[in-house]
Structure 1
Amino acid sequence: MWHDNETEIDLLGFGPLVDSVTYLARADALLPITVGVFGDWGSGKSSLMRMAHRRLAEDPTCICVSFSPWQYEDYDDVKTALMGAVMAALQERRPSAEKIGETAGRQAAQLLAKLKRRIDGFRLVGAAARGIAASYAYQHDPVLATQLASGSVFGIVQHLAQQEKSIPADADLADATKGKHGGADPGILKKDVDPPPETITQGIAEFRQDFAALLTHLEVKVLVVFIDDLDRCLPPNIVNTLEALRLFLAVPKTAFVIGADERIIKHAIATRYPEVPGQALDIGRDYLEKLIQVPIRIPPLTAAETESFLNLLGCELHLSADVHPQLVATVMENQRSNALDVVMNYGIAQTHLGAVCAKLEAHMALIGRIAPTLCNGLHGNPRQIKRFLNTLQLRVTLAKARGTELDVSVLAKLMILEYFHETHFRELFLWQAVGRGIAMQLEALELAGGTGEAGSPASPNDAQQDWVGNATIADWLRLEPPLRSVDLGPYFHFARDRVFTPTAPTRRLSQPLQELLGKLQSESDAERAGGMLQAGAMTADDLRPVYDTLLGRFQRDPRTLEGKLASAIVELAAKKRELLPALAQALRGTPPGAIRTDLPAMIRVKLGPREPLPAELQDVFQGWVDQTVASKLSQAAALALQQPRSS
């Protein structure tokens, strides 16, 4: 299996994007600059930033700082935590006095100490605003309490210096100034005593001046701050971090690289700055465009890139640790030449290695078949694609530990159905359960080549037309290997969590689709009505992931929302007739005793009371008539099956 953490090894072809980040950070004429590395969750933002960090850190004139505001969210002010992290990195990387001169070294030491005290002051002001520091100060330090109440950064800094409660200059800092100062320069503190208490605005301005002066004294060409995981924070902390960059740290010789999901950042900004009534403004977009000078957006993987990525993962698994880096280097060269779509496959590996082991050959053959489907179904998302492969490997490993050998090709084909067509996956589970592992219905479907042509040796019946009428399911049926004679029982045994937990598709929905799903499941009639209008404007294929999720919830509890969910799924199928087979399949798989007796009549009304009932639903209604568990449902279905009267 493969770890799910960021990496400095480029398996995704990020070279040009890393080049862009490092070029912008080194471009003196553009500084200060803020670069946005934007992409969906799992697109590789953190890995790209690590690659750029490593490359820039090799330059001794660059100081790189990595900061994750999410790690400080619960116990510190994010703004001051960011500033503190920057100061710590500058102190660690400062040159010795011998390199920059005694005077410059002494001034750098003084500025570092002064900036640290000022950060302490900002931290206390922020804590006071939350009522934390003030409560402590009134009990233990009345003078500090007075300064907190006034919001005077100068007063707080001065008091901390006098009481020696600031972050002191450490022994190394004293060494940098040849041991003449145990802490900050008394001359600077003396100068700070006379001015009147400053406002917050003045404190910010002086912080920026001192910070810029410090970078000059340290002879830094550029300070690059990488900010990751910003989109994991709560909206207030997202905005606070952005404000820290804009107000405090954006001075000459600085570059900031922010990795985040652009949509979440825009949402956070919009919550802080509500739109002006009557004005068609997109506050989140406008604010972000002003803050981010250069956005770099990570595109989803193409089918060829997906195949190369998964083949490289296979090389990592099946080759020795010394050979894999050589293949990665070959891939990077192929990417630079831009002559190949697939930069790693069996032929390329064979050319480089001479001979490819059987396991890697089988892996690459499988990837060649499933990569396009994975790319389309998972929207080219590297993390989700890797997790598919990890789940595949985990099931094979667990089965082997229990003495069961699973054919990886069979398992991969079943998992594609499981991931992208869960309703059909459940139906296949029921087929093989009845057939003691053999799904007899697959014979007609596979022999028809996924086309359902009447001239085939065995043709699908009406109830199976949804399998051949859906183009992606027809492609799945044609995917190797055929499954009609395979005992599928062991494979479903290791997918029990997905068979009995029909909520997994929600995790793969995009943000807009999840929002639509929320509206359609809302208890608010107005919210559901808005969701229905939005769904009505979509194509059936675009709506299908949401619809399958709704069907899954319906099957778990057909009476959800007092029958309003059932009404929604029927109405959607009435508007998008391509969804009728999926509706019929879900109704067949729902216990009759759990279904409301008014559902047959509702279906009749929403599909048109004077129109013939579609063939898929006629089969469902007849099943309700024939069952003996729910007599009232049987009567209602029989009544609904009656032919409509002519107008």
Structure 2
Amino acid sequence: MLSDKETDIDALGFEPYTNSLSELITEKGITPFTIGIFGSWGTGKTSLMLMLKKKLESQANVRTVWFNAWKFDDEKQIWAALIQAVLNQLAVTLGESAKLKLQELRNSIEWIQFLEFIGKSILSRGPDIEALRSSFKFGKKIESISDFEKRFEEFVDSCNIERLVIFVDDLDRCKMEATVDILETIKLLLSSKKCVYVLGMDYERVCDAVSRRFKESSQDVAEDYLDKIIQLSFHIPRRSEDDMKLYLRHLFALEYIEKGNLQSFTADMRQIEKNIDTTFLKLLKTYTESFSMDKYRALTEHDLLIIRENEFNPRKLKRFLNIYEMRRSLSEVLELNLENEYLIKFLLLQAKFSDFYRDLENYPGLLGQIKDVTSLTEEEKKEKLAKSELLQKYYADNELLRFLRDVPFGDVDPRPYLRIAQTAESEIVLGEKEKIILEDLMSDDAVKIGEGLKNFQGLDEEQKETIVRDLLERAEQVDAQVRRKSLQAFGTLREAVPEKLMADVVRKLIEKAKDENADVRNQAKWTYQGLKEVIPEGVL
């Protein structure tokens, strides 16, 4: 299985960007300066930031600090966690004079006043800091903030460095309050003349958090607020087809390349410009002789389709390959002798045409029936289609017909491939954080439900989908109370349900409106009525 952990190995061709950003960051006279690395989930923000961090660390007078905001999302004072992270990571290699400055900074009365004050006053006042500074009521406290800024500046100077680069990752995954608290801390306290901030985020999600925090703010005000903090915006570019073809092959090779050789293999791979398959295989053979050509062919035969269906998204592509590998391994263990080619084809079919795939699970002969219809005369087609609403529905889907033409299934029996998928996905694995959120959403306690919704909104799309899929499974359990509470949770989530799963949720509610248990039936109807106003057009 491929690790979902980000990497500083450049498999996506980010080097030109990290080179340019590194030059900019170390340029004289630029600080204080903040860079926003913008991209949606799975596009490679963290990997690019790790590569940039590694490049900067090779320079003698540059120090870096890494802060994963989401890991401290549950902290009541996340601003304090950020400052402590900066101080703690710098403290590791400090000289004696700098350590004294650090101790003074931590122990000063002003610092204690700052800790007590900041969470209650400044960060709850909104984006108008100048108005706050002019307020007599907060005069003495503002003096202590200014003192902290001065002491922080002196501390950074005592570290004998030219540049302090502070990376803040996963800002968009934080709860609304935490997101804005971090931005306020950067703006108000840590703008040393030697500091550069690199913030990784989904721009739209952070704008939304700012708008919701300052309730009267519009999207324009939120964007203006971010523009005042971020001087340079870098949007992760969509990778080209050739880049993604190489990345797909790189993911394939990870199973066979020794860790010690991975850096050099990746660097060599990035030099490939044409005849991708021939050149890549030649390169791979210089590193290892033991790899499966059958697996390689199965992946590369439909590489463009795989890439497009996963929206050119590196993390989605990795997830796709993990599902494929799980099904392939299970097939081997169960000695089913399934062909890799068809494992991939059925996985693509499931990803692109979920409604058809769901019907195929119930009526495996449907695939052959559609194929048969396409070969009939017009008169024969009319006669056959008149006998089946299912055939009418899917024969009218031109995109599905085009897919089945471009990705031929021949005379393969779908049943073992459908069964292996059901077996591999029968147990959804939740992390500890997702389990707590799920329990809160299914609680009858209003406080827990509210907290569960708030935390759910801070998750990335993959985590949200995992929780919603788990709720869909729970709606089928024998215990009627579990079924009812899972349906109740959908009513709590409302528009927070990922759009791609909204149709599944609606279908489940309609189905459960006929449940044998009256409480479940009523809950399904109430939830459905509450969801109707937020269901995207075309789902009903």
Structure 2 length-normalised TM? 0.72
CA RMSD of aligned residues (A): 4.2
1:150-189 Cα shifts (integer Å, max 9, x gaps): xxxxxxxxxxxxxxxxxxxxxxxxxxxxxxxxxxxxxxxx
Q: Offset of 1:298 from its aligned partner?
A: 1.3
| CA contact 2:256–2:288 (8 Å) conserved in 1 | no
Letter in 1 for 2:354: E
Look up the match of 1:431: 363
Q: What is the correspondence of 1:162-561 to structure 2 with a 5 Å cutoff?
A: 199-275=140-216, 282-321=220-259, 324-334=262-272, 339-340=273-274, 344-350=276-282, 353=285, 359-432=291-364, 439-444=367-372, 448=375, 454=378, 461=385, 463=389, 464-483=391-410, 485-496=411-422, 548-549=503-504, 552-553=507-508, 556-557=511-512, 560-561=524-525
Q: Offset of 1:351 from its aligned partner?
A: 5.7
From the superposition, tell whether residues 555 and 306 of structure 1 become closer, same or farther in structure 2 (CA, over 3 Å): farther
2:77 matches 1:122: no
From the superposition, tell whether residues 497 and 263 of structure 1 become closer, same or farther in structure 2 (CA, over 3 Å): farther
Letter in 2 for 1:16: P
From the superposition, tell whether residues 501 and 424 of structure 1 become closer, same or farther in structure 2 (CA, over 3 Å): farther
Q: 2: distance between equivalents of 1:314 and 1:333?
A: 18
Q: 2: distance between equivalents of 1:457 and 1:359?
A: 46
Q: Offset of 1:565 from its aligned partner?
A: 9.5
From the superposition, tell whether residues 198 and 289 of structure 1 become closer, same or farther in structure 2 (CA, over 3 Å): closer
| CA contact 2:42–2:316 (8 Å) conserved in 1 | yes
Secondary structure of 2:254's aligned partner:
helix
| CA contact 2:327–2:424 (8 Å) conserved in 1 | no
| CA contact 1:39–1:45 (8 Å) conserved in 2 | yes
Q: 2: distance between equivalents of 1:363 and 1:461?
A: 38
Q: Offset of 1:255 from its aligned partner?
A: 0.5
Q: 2: distance between equivalents of 1:355 and 1:87?
A: 43
Q: 1: distance between equivalents of 2:166 and 2:536?
A: 52
Q: Offset of 1:301 from its aligned partner?
A: 3.5
Q: What is the correspondence of 1:601-640 to structure 2 with a 5 Å cutoff?
A: none
Q: 2: distance between equivalents of 1:358 and 1:456?
A: 52
Q: 2: distance between equivalents of 1:301 and 1:93?
A: 38
Q: What is the correspondence of 1:563-582 to structure 2 with a 5 Å cutoff?
A: none
State which drifts further: 118-127 or 225-234: 118-127
State which drifts further: 379-388 or 491-500: 491-500
Q: 1: distance between equivalents of 2:412 and 2:290?
A: 23
Q: 2: distance between equivalents of 1:84 and 1:508?
A: 30
Look up the match of 1:600: none
Q: Offset of 1:348 from its aligned partner?
A: 3.1
Q: Offset of 1:29 from its aligned partner?
A: 2.3
Q: 1: distance between equivalents of 2:401 and 2:534?
A: 24
Q: 1: distance between equivalents of 2:242 and 2:463?
A: 23
Q: Offset of 1:510 from its aligned partner?
A: 11
Amino-acid identity (%) = 23
Q: Offset of 1:60 from its aligned partner?
A: 2.1
| CA contact 2:68–2:168 (8 Å) conserved in 1 | yes
From the superposition, tell whether residues 271 and 256 of structure 1 become closer, same or farther in structure 2 (CA, over 3 Å): same
Q: 2: distance between equivalents of 1:281 and 1:454?
A: 54
Q: 1: distance between equivalents of 2:426 and 2:93?
A: 55
From the superposition, tell whether residues 318 and 261 of structure 1 become closer, same or farther in structure 2 (CA, over 3 Å): same
Secondary structure of 1:333's aligned partner:
coil
From the superposition, tell whether residues 353 and 522 of structure 1 become closer, same or farther in structure 2 (CA, over 3 Å): closer
Q: 2: distance between equivalents of 1:88 and 1:500?
A: 44
From the superposition, tell whether residues 20 and 6 of structure 1 become closer, same or farther in structure 2 (CA, over 3 Å): same
1:408-459 Cα shifts (integer Å, max 9, x gaps): 1111111111122111002222222xx5xx95314415x64xxx87499999
From the superposition, tell whether residues 68 and 568 of structure 1 become closer, same or farther in structure 2 (CA, over 3 Å): closer
From the superposition, tell whether residues 127 and 117 of structure 1 become closer, same or farther in structure 2 (CA, over 3 Å): farther
Q: 2: distance between equivalents of 1:240 and 1:567?
A: 35
| CA contact 1:70–1:232 (8 Å) conserved in 2 | yes
Q: Offset of 1:283 from its aligned partner?
A: 2.0
How many residues are paired up? 455
Q: 2: distance between equivalents of 1:233 and 1:476?
A: 39
From the superposition, tell whether residues 551 and 269 of structure 1 become closer, same or farther in structure 2 (CA, over 3 Å): closer
Secondary structure of 1:13's aligned partner:
coil
From the superposition, tell whether residues 366 and 281 of structure 1 become closer, same or farther in structure 2 (CA, over 3 Å): closer
State which drifts further: 456-465 or 118-127: 456-465
1:49-87 Cα shifts (integer Å, max 9, x gaps): 111111111112111111123323334521122112212
Q: 2: distance between equivalents of 1:68 and 1:322?
A: 27
Letter in 2 for 1:271: R
Q: Offset of 1:498 from its aligned partner?
A: 9.2
Q: 2: distance between equivalents of 1:78 and 1:47?
A: 24
Q: 2: distance between equivalents of 1:455 and 1:31?
A: 75
Q: Offset of 1:15 from its aligned partner?
A: 1.5
Q: Offset of 1:465 from its aligned partner?
A: 4.6
Q: 2: distance between equivalents of 1:509 and 1:418?
A: 20
Look up the match of 1:181: none
Letter in 1 for 2:313: N
Secondary structure of 1:317's aligned partner:
coil
From the superposition, tell whether residues 236 and 127 of structure 1 become closer, same or farther in structure 2 (CA, over 3 Å): closer
Q: Offset of 1:224 from its aligned partner?
A: 0.5
Q: What is the correspondence of 1:587-598 to structure 2 with a 5 Å cutoff?
A: none
Q: Which runs of 5+ in 1 are unaligned?
A: 97-104, 131-196, 515-520, 529-542, 574-578, 584-647
1:103-135 Cα shifts (integer Å, max 9, x gaps): xx3xx34422221124444223357779xxxxx
State which drifts further: 455-464 or 238-247: 455-464
Look up the match of 2:130: none
Letter in 2 for 1:406: L
Letter in 1 for 2:115: R
1:342-361 Cα shifts (integer Å, max 9, x gaps): 8x534433266379968543
Q: Offset of 1:241 from its aligned partner?
A: 0.7
1:309-333 Cα shifts (integer Å, max 9, x gaps): 1111111113444655443112333
Secondary structure of 1:199's aligned partner:
helix
Secondary structure of 1:258's aligned partner:
strand
Q: Which runs of 5+ in 2 are unaligned?
A: 123-137, 429-459, 469-488, 515-523
State which drifts further: 217-226 or 311-320: 311-320
Q: 1: distance between equivalents of 2:27 and 2:299?
A: 41
Structure 1 length-normalised TM? 0.61
